Amino acid sequence: MKHFINIIADPIFSFPIFSLLFFAMIKWYRVVGTKKFAWIFLAISVPVTVWFLADPQFIKIILWPDNIPINILVILIVFLTWFPLYKAAENDKRLEQGLEPVEALPENREKVWAWPNLVYTELFAIIAGTIFLVVWAIIFKAPLEEPANPTWAPNPAKAPWYFLGLQEMLVYFDPWMAGVVLPGLIVVGLIAIPYLDTNPKGNGYYCFQDRKFAITGFLYGWLVLWIYLIIVGTFLRGPNWTFYGPFEYWDFHKVVAEYNVNLSEFLWLKWLNTSMPKNIFVREALGIALTFAYLIGLPFISLKTKFGKDLLEKVGTMRYYIVIFLVISMGSLPIKMVLRWLFSLKYIVALPEIELNL
| Residue 184 interacting with other proteins (CB under 8 A) | no
Q: Are 207 and 344 in contact (CB under 8 A)?
A: no
Q: How far apart are CA 235 and CA 75, in angstroms?
A: 15
- Total interface residues for other proteins by CB under 8 A: 36
Residue selected from 3, 141, 253, 304 as contacting other proteins according to rule CB under 8 A? 253
Report residue 227: phi and psi, to 5°: -65, -45
In the complex, what is the shortest distance from the CB of residue 285 to other proteins, in angstroms, rounded to a whole number? Answer: 18
| Part of the chain binding other proteins (CB under 8 A), chosen from 75-83, 221-229, 249-257, 308-316 | 249-257
Window 47-106: residues binding other proteins (CB under 8 A): none
**How many residues are given for the chain?**
358
At residue 351, the 3 state secondary structure works out as: strand
Window 109-148: residues binding other proteins (CB under 8 A): 147-148
In the complex, what is the shortest distance from the CB of residue 4 to other proteins, in angstroms, rounded to a whole number? Answer: 24
| Residue 43 interacting with other proteins (CB under 8 A) | no
Rank residues 115 and 259 by Cβ distance to other proteins and give the closer one.
259
Q: How many of the other CB atoms lie within 10 Å of CB of 192? A: 15
In the complex, what is the shortest distance from the CB of residue 189 to other proteins, in angstroms, rounded to a whole number? Answer: 23
* Burial (CB count within 10 angstroms: exposed 0-12, middle 13-18, buried 19+), residue 118: exposed
Report residue 64: phi and psi, to 5°: -60, 125
Residue selected from 29, 58, 86, 347 as contacting other proteins according to rule CB under 8 A? 347
- b/e burial code for range 57-88 (CB count within 10 A of at least 16 → b): bbeebbebeebeebeebeeebeeebbebbbbb
| Residue 270 interacting with other proteins (CB under 8 A) | no
In the complex, what is the shortest distance from the CB of residue 340 to other proteins, in angstroms, rounded to a whole number? Answer: 9
Residue selected from 173, 205, 206, 244 as contacting other proteins according to rule CB under 8 A? 173
| Residue 269 interacting with other proteins (CB under 8 A) | no
| Residue 150 interacting with other proteins (CB under 8 A) | yes
| Residue 342 interacting with other proteins (CB under 8 A) | no
| Residue 275 interacting with other proteins (CB under 8 A) | no
Residue selected from 16, 69, 84, 156 as contacting other proteins according to rule CB under 8 A? 156
In the complex, what is the shortest distance from the CB of residue 151 to other proteins, in angstroms, rounded to a whole number? Answer: 4
Residue 237 CA to chain centroid, in angstroms?
16
Residue selected from 172, 208, 235, 268 as contacting other proteins according to rule CB under 8 A? 172
Residue selected from 73, 74, 171, 192 as contacting other proteins according to rule CB under 8 A? 171
Q: Are 280 and 351 in contact (CB under 8 A)?
A: yes
Rank residues 103 and 251 by Cβ distance to other proteins and give the closer one.
251
Rank residues 154 and 297 by Cβ distance to other proteins and give the closer one.
154
Report residue 156: phi and psi, to 5°: -75, 150
Window 224-243: residues binding other proteins (CB under 8 A): 239-242
Q: How far apart are CA 24 and CA 8, in angstroms?
A: 18
ω into 65 cis (within 30 of 0): no
Beta bridge partners, 350, equal 357
Comparing C-alpha atoms, which of 166, 150, 149 is closest to residue 158? Answer: 166
Residue selected from 43, 54, 153, 342 as contacting other proteins according to rule CB under 8 A? 153
Residue 287 neighbours by CB under 8 Å, 6+ apart: 262, 263, 264, 347, 348, 349, 350, 358
In the complex, what is the shortest distance from the CB of residue 140 to other proteins, in angstroms, rounded to a whole number? Answer: 24
Residues engaged in binding other proteins (CB under 8 A): 147-157, 167, 170-175, 179, 239-242, 253, 255-256, 258-260, 346-347, 350, 352-353, 355, 357
